[in-house]
Amino acid sequence: MWTEQLSNGNVKFVERYTDPLTLELHRVSCTMAKDTNSTRKQAQAILNEKIEKKLEKISMSAAVRKEKLRLGQLCTMYNTFQKTARAPSTYSRNLHACNSLCRILGEDTLVSQLTAGYVNEKLAEQNEAVGTTNERITRFKALIRWGYENDYIADIAWINKIRKEKDIKKKEKLEDKYLEREELQTLLNNLTVPRWRMLASFAALSGLRVGEIIALRDSDVNLDKRIISVTKNYDSNNKVIGYTKTSCSYRKVYIQDELLTLCRQIRFFIKKEQLLTGVRSPLFIPDISGDHVHYWAYNKCLKETAHRVLNKDVEITTHVLRHTHVSLS
C-alpha cells in the first residue's frame, strides 16, 4: 500500500491486486484526512475488503473457485440465476430446497469434498419419508449439475451413485387419489359456496390444474367451437400469472356435453353476479371483486368438506379432482 497527497490536503491510500483471470494489475483506493498509524490501519482494512469483493465477483464467474467453492455459495449463485430465468413458483420451490440442503449438508462444506457416501449418510440421518428424501436428491442433483455446466465444479460423476429409493407408498396413494362419480356428486352437493362448487366441478370435468382454471380468461373458453385454450397458470403463492407447468401443458381442451352445460351455468352465474355488483372482469371464474379467486380459501373448503362427507383414507385436494377427470372419462 502507498499514499498519494491530494491538493485539498487529504491523503489517498492505494493498493494493487492481480486479476486471477487475466493476470492484469488493478488498483483500489480510499481517502483519509491524514496519514497516521491509525488511518493506515483503517485504510488497509478498507482496501482489503474492496479487493476481496472484486476478487469474489471475478472468481464467481470462472473456474477459479472450484477447489474453494462452498455449498452455500453455490446455492446463492444458483438461486440468483433461478430468480430471473425461472417462474416465481419454481424459484421459490428451489430456494427452499437449497436452504434445506445447506442445513442438512452444511453451507460451509466444500463442494469439491462432497461424496455420494457423505450425501447419502446425511440424508439418511434426517429419517424422512422416502418421497421427501427422493425429492431432496432430485433438487441436489439439479444444483450440482448446474454448477458443473457453469464451470463452478470440475467433476460430478459421483452424483450418479446417489440413487432414489422405490416409493411404494407414493404409488399406493396415487392409486387412491381420485373420486368415483358418486363420491364426486356427494362432494359437490355439500359444497355450499356456489363458486367453489362450480370450480370443483369444472376441474373434474376438464382435467385442468387449479392454477390453469383460475388464470382462464372468458375469451379462452369458446363455447361455439367447444374449445378451452390453456396457455397460462396462476401462481397463488406469488399472485402472478405465469407459464403452464410444462411446454406440453399448452393445449386445447375439448368441451364435452356435460362440461358445455357447466360452462353455460358458470357464465350465467358470473354475469348475474356482475350485474348486481357492477363489477366487470375478463376472467372466466373471478371472485366477487373481479380478481382471481382465492386458492387457499377454495382448497381449505374442499378439504374440510371432503373430510366431513367422504370416507376416504387420502386427503382430498384440488389435484385429486384432476385425477378424477380420468376416472370420469
291's grid cell: 380478481
Q: For residue 312, what pLDDT is reported?
A: 80
Max avg pLDDT among 139-153, 238-252, 307-321: 139-153
Give Cβ neighbours of residue 139 (< 8 Å, ≥ 6 apart). 94, 97, 98, 101
Where does the chain show beta strands of DSSP type E?
A: 2-5, 11-18, 25-32, 221-222, 227-230, 233-235, 240-242, 251-254
User: Terminal CA-to-CA distance of the chain, rounded, Å?
Assistant: 78
At residue 60, the pLDDT reads 59
Distinct helix (H) and strand (E) counts, the chain: 12, 8
198-234 residue pLDDT tens: 999 999 999 999 999 999 999 999 999 999 999 999 9
Asked if the structure places residue 257 within a domain, the reply is yes
Determine the 3-state secondary structure of 167 from DSSP. coil
* Residues 163 and 182 placed together within one structural domain of the fold: no
Final residue in a domain of this structure, among 61, 85, 105? 61
Last-in-domain residue among 150, 172, 194: 172
Question: What is the per-residue pLDDT across 227-257, written as a single tens digit (0 to 9) for each?
Answer: 999 999 998 877 888 776 666 678 999 999 9
Question: Sign of dihedral through CA atoms 54, 56, 57, 58?
Answer: positive
Distance CA 155, CA 140 (A): 15
Residues 201 and 302 placed together within one structural domain of the fold: yes
Domain that includes residue 249, residue range: 177-328
Residue-level pLDDT at 64: 44
225 with 162, same domain: the answer is: no
Using the predicted structure, report yes or no on whether residue 282 has a pLDDT greater than 50: yes
* CA–CA dist 253, 227 (Å, integer): 6
6 within 8 A of 27, measured Cβ to Cβ: no
Q: Are residues 183 and 286 in the same domain?
A: yes
154 occurs within a structural domain: yes
Name the pTM for this structure.
Answer: 0.61
Q: How far apart are CA 231 and CA 247, in angstroms?
A: 10
Same domain, 320 and 250: yes
Average pLDDT in the 153-166 region? 91
Better pLDDT: 289 or 68: 289
Q: Per-residue confidence at 318, pLDDT binned at 50, 70, 90?
A: confident
User: Per the domain annotation, does 147 fall within a domain?
Assistant: yes
In this structure, the answer to whether residues 265 and 148 fall within a common structural domain is: no
Q: What is the mean pLDDT of the chain?
A: 89
Cα separation, 203 vs 189, in Å, equals 15
Mean of the pLDDT values across residues 45-50?
94
Which of 183, 155, 138 minimizes the C-alpha distance to 306? 183
Q: What is the pLDDT of residues 127-145, one digit of tens each?
A: 998 989 999 999 999 999 9
Identify whether 66 is part of a domain: no
